[in-house]
Amino acid sequence: MKTVSPEVYAEPGWVAPGEDDSPGHSFEHDSKWQVLRKNLRGAIHAIRTHRANRRRVARGDFKLRPLVGSYYVTHRCNLKCQYCTERYPIRDTVDLDTEGAFAVLARMRREMAAIYFTGGEPLVRPDIVHIVREAHRLNFFPIYLGTNGLLLPLRDKALDYVDRLVISLDSMNAESWDDVLNAGSGQARRIYDIIAHYARNQRRRHISIMI
């Protein structure tokens, strides 16, 4: 079975961010009141967009405004899941550089308020923290981040700017899931541990986890 080089994964025995209580460790995130205001603003925007789209359809105009945009920041991934269609791209693709990604975000923001970062595996990008932070600066809400979870300990800072963390969980049978992941034994249990850590800390990090 073909496997993926192990250096892209979190090291075994990783110390979960924030659990070492080291001096000076802090997170940048909105206060609970800011989160409440953003949730209210997001709900109002979604309701207005839905109503506006219904009016457009009623008059025969099908150029609708999206509620959320999906941004494929890369087609690269650190896994080779057996079912994934991204394993066989129609053509080779090259990631935009950071400034190019910022330009895409600015264009998307003119059309929608919510964004979903996906791939590929978004966290393979070394600049993903900068990209997600730019989305936060542009007042996207909510900001979703879809990931297989393995690189979260290495890109933990990105979660300071994320509202909804979406982690893939395809099976509770670790052996079977390792076969699907196609990345060697032990990866499924590592993802279980990472999910458990961030689930315990989602209130402190002001994020919601979707599995």
Q: pTM of the full predicted structure?
A: 0.80
In angstroms, the CA 22 to CA 20 distance is: 5
Distance CA 2, CA 111 (A): 42
Beta-bridge mates of residue 116: 70, 144
> What is the pLDDT at residue 149?
96
Res. 9: pLDDT tops 70: no
Average of per-residue pLDDT across 157-179: 94
Side chain identity at residue 171, one-letter code: S
Q: Is the pLDDT of residue 111 over 50?
A: yes
| pLDDT tens, position by position, 121-130 | 999 999 999 9
Task: Tell me the CB-side half-sphere exposure of residue 191, using CA atoms within 13 A.
Answer: 25
Q: Which of 157, 158, 193 is nearest to 11 (CA)?
A: 193
Tell me the pLDDT tens digit for each residue of 41-76. 778 878 888 898 899 899 999 888 888 999 999 999
Q: How far apart are CA 68 and CA 5, in angstroms?
A: 34
Convert the pLDDT of each residue in 116-166 to its tens digit.
999 999 999 999 999 999 999 999 999 999 999 999 999 999 999 999 999
Q: Which pLDDT band holds residue 86 (cuts at 50, 70, 90)? A: confident
Distance separating alpha carbons of residues 149 and 159, to the nearest angstrom: 12
pLDDT band at 24 (very low <50, low <70, confident <90, very high): very low
